[in-house]
Structure 1
Amino acid sequence: MKRALIVKLGAIGDVVMAIPAARALQAEGYAIDWVCGRAASSILQLYPWINVVEADDRALLSGKPGAIFSLWRRLLRAKYDVVATLYYDSRYRILTLPVRASRKFLLSTTKREFALLPGRHHTDEYARVLRGAKDDVRPQALAPLLPETMPESPLARGERARVVMIAAGARNAMRDDALRRWPVESYIAVARELQARGHEIVLAGGPDDRWASPYFEPLGLVDMTAKLSLVEMVGLLNSADVVLTHDTGPLHLAGITRAGIVAVFGPVDPHGRLPQRHNSVALWGGAGFACRPCYDGRDYAPCSNNLCMQQVTPGMVVGEVETLIAARREGKPLLPRVRVPKQTEPLVQIGAGE
């Protein structure tokens, strides 16, 4: 059997978007080995066809020789036909330096066949690059892959519709992307309104998201922030009728569940990132802004106030959440879509406290 090695340590969103692409390569007869960081390892282990090679990503990224030599020793045990390092930064080349393969590459900004082309979904682009297709003319729209065994929810469900909100996030081991976040005040307004309509609201997030919790304490909602492993987070998201967040790792974790998704975007084009499955909607703020999108895959334009995100109002979000709750109750799958607020659309406010 042919063998492929994928190197993608994190972030969680990028790892999840690459999983269907790895499956496409496996369908062509490849066994899949995947070098990943400790955080991503637990997610990849939900897919038994992936041989997970867990590495200390923080040690590797800091250039510690011991971590690099340890990884080399593990990789040299196998012979590979394809070695794909899914990064643009050439420094990642060192991770597979002694590993030989008939096809070995990094992502490239100059070679089209190794570039994630703008305007196309990252999952489809990862598949094109891994398969070695310079231009794949077939329509793909590869959907996220649900785990073969879905984790149990750590929080029991009642009869009320459940909305899980991730109001922080957009942070990884390398940096904090605050410009991707929808304002916490907007999340509070949505939570207050949905509670008034009788829905259960659950706040979630990782250990670095604790800063957001005090803002929600007056609402008395269930706060699972920093209380769950990533696998438990998948179980919680799967128990939701709708997951509400912005462009962050949990958005993509929600993609591998059955929950509806409402995601707020601004500096990043959602066409390349919104999970390509039913009952997913992106609200892309910044209509009419000459600078949108400003994210080029590495950096953002200088910006002191992400007005593009603020153009998406709580009223718009509540409407989309209610639409997806109704669709779930009726068993009516809705096609994924990106909604762009009109420049003349009023900034609808909800609740007396806004």
Structure 2
Amino acid sequence: MRILALQLKRIGDLVLTTPALRALHQAWPDAHIALGVMDGTAPLLAAIPFVQSGIVFGRGRGWTPWQQVLTGGWDACFDFTGNDRSALATVLSRARKCVGFEWVRRNRLRSLAYNAWSPSKVRDVHTARHYLDLVAAVAPAGAGDLLPELSLPEASSPAPKPAPYALLHPGTARPEKYWLPERWAEVAAHLQTVHHLPTIFTCGPDDFERAHLAAIASAEGSEKSEVRHPPDLMSLATLVAGARIVISCDTGVVHLASAFRIPQIALFGPTNPFHWRPMHARAVVFSAAQPEAPLTKFEPRLKGAPMEHLSTGAVIRATDSLLALPRPT
């Protein structure tokens, strides 16, 4: 059996699709599963279990990905994306079973691509559950494990184990998700002086992310931090996987840390963590809507609030609590 899965969105969506890919493998353990992704997330393909091949879409790719879809001999196509590009790929797959979300039916042209439907509504469930529901529409998946999963490729030669470090990722594509630079600097100083952890700040290539990082670097208390600009997504994932603790705003690093089960603190402001929160046991989630303590109850209708409402003291206390736990093995 040959299965085509399409996830043509961003990093977080791709990582949160891995529980659904695991469910596909469990339902059809002998199937060849190919995953279609955009070029910006393609470096992660090598770290996604249960996938035997990848198809990469994007500018400069020309006819190649479409030819791969057209000639793949697919038995089933699962479209986790629901946009024009993925609907066209679904049609070209010529799969006997083409599965999409009910909400795609609002677009009559797109809806012609599918012959099986999932009624799941992302506003009512965690994003990982939403994607798992697509598989469950044709292959009963039970409750399903919602934790994402990545596995770094083995190096050709063993590398020395790095010294413990804290990774802080303050940037994202939306500046309204930024926490104040001086608060990041205060957290970095606490990690250095109290926990004796070197701190590494990472960021993406966008100019406004780099400007935000420069503001943090110039704030008092952050002089000892190292700044890194990972050249690609796999390099960033490798840094995340080796960290003692990860602290970030609502961005793709949240999901990378979750996939590797790294102790983490995720800071949410204008967005609702109900849909995007990490769910493993060593994850602490803050919302600016209730800023003085970590969230323990998550609701689909929680309204956001400005990031400056988040308490530095509360984040530092959560950091202390996570670092007091035994190191994961």
TM-score of the aligned structures, taking structure 1 as reference length: 0.74
User: Helix, strand or coil for the counterpart of 2:148?
Assistant: coil
User: Helix, strand or coil for the counterpart of 2:247?
Assistant: strand
* Deviations 1:136-169 (CA, angstroms, capped at 9, x unpaired): 7x433421213164679999633xx521100112
1:272 aligns with 2:269: no
**Structure 2 equivalent of residue 40 of structure 1:** 41
Report which stretch shifted further, 247-256 or 270-279: 270-279
Are the aligned partners of 1:154 and 1:232 in contact in 2 as well (CA < 8 Å)?
no
TM-score of the aligned structures, taking structure 2 as reference length: 0.79
**Structure 1 equivalent of residue 183 of structure 2:** 186
**Structure 1 equivalent of residue 93 of structure 2:** 99
Are the aligned partners of 1:153 and 1:235 in contact in 2 as well (CA < 8 Å)?
no
**Matches for 1:110-121 after TM superposition, within 5 Å:** 113-121=118-126
1:145 aligns with 2:116: no
**Structure 1 equivalent of residue 168 of structure 2:** 165
Are the aligned partners of 1:144 and 1:277 in contact in 2 as well (CA < 8 Å)?
no
Residue identity opposite 1:41 in structure 2: A
Q: Distance in 2 between matches of 1:10 and 1:155?
A: 35
Residue identity opposite 1:18 in structure 2: T
Are the aligned partners of 1:113 and 1:134 in contact in 2 as well (CA < 8 Å)?
no
Cα 1:90–1:10 shift into 2, 3 Å? closer
Alignment equivalent of 2:82, drawn from 88, 94, 97: 88
Residue identity opposite 1:205 in structure 2: C
1:246 aligns with 2:244: no
**Structure 2 equivalent of residue 315 of structure 1:** 313
**Structure 1 equivalent of residue 26 of structure 2:** 27
Residue identity opposite 1:235 in structure 2: T
Report which stretch shifted further, 50-59 or 271-280: 50-59
Are the aligned partners of 1:106 and 1:114 in contact in 2 as well (CA < 8 Å)?
no
Residue identity opposite 2:73 in structure 1: K
Alignment equivalent of 1:131, drawn from 128, 131, 136: 136
Are the aligned partners of 1:34 and 1:50 in contact in 2 as well (CA < 8 Å)?
yes
Q: Distance in 2 between matches of 1:190 and 1:233?
A: 21
* Deviations 1:49-103 (CA, angstroms, capped at 9, x unpaired): 31333424245xxxxxx83x43221112222222122223345422333221222
* Deviations 1:202-228 (CA, angstroms, capped at 9, x unpaired): 101222232233223342234343234
**Structure 2 equivalent of residue 200 of structure 1:** 198
Cα 1:226–1:153 shift into 2, 3 Å? farther
**Structure 1 equivalent of residue 50 of structure 2:** 49
Residue identity opposite 1:70 in structure 2: T
User: Shift of the alpha carbon at 1:22?
Assistant: 0.7
Are the aligned partners of 1:286 and 1:292 in contact in 2 as well (CA < 8 Å)?
no
**Structure 1 equivalent of residue 108 of structure 2:** none
Cα 1:52–1:179 shift into 2, 3 Å? farther
* Deviations 1:322-342 (CA, angstroms, capped at 9, x unpaired): 11111134x6x9xxxxxxxxx
CA RMSD of aligned residues (A): 3.1
User: Helix, strand or coil for the counterpart of 1:168?
Assistant: coil
Aligned residues: 301
User: Shift of the alpha carbon at 1:263?
Assistant: 0.2
Residue identity opposite 1:186 in structure 2: R
Q: Distance in 2 between matches of 1:224 and 1:150?
A: 26
Report which stretch shifted further, 50-59 or 189-198: 50-59
Residue identity opposite 1:17 in structure 2: L
Q: Distance in 2 between matches of 1:144 and 1:157?
A: 24
Are the aligned partners of 1:204 and 1:225 in contact in 2 as well (CA < 8 Å)?
yes
User: Helix, strand or coil for the counterpart of 1:322?
Assistant: helix
- State the identity %: 21
Residue identity opposite 2:120 in structure 1: A
Q: Distance in 2 between matches of 1:15 and 1:116?
A: 18
User: Helix, strand or coil for the counterpart of 1:262?
Assistant: strand
Q: Distance in 1 between matches of 2:165 and 2:152?
A: 23
User: Helix, strand or coil for the counterpart of 2:41?
Assistant: helix
* Deviations 1:162-181 (CA, angstroms, capped at 9, x unpaired): 21100112x2xxxxx22333
User: Helix, strand or coil for the counterpart of 1:106?
Assistant: strand
Q: Distance in 2 between matches of 1:157 and 1:247?
A: 26
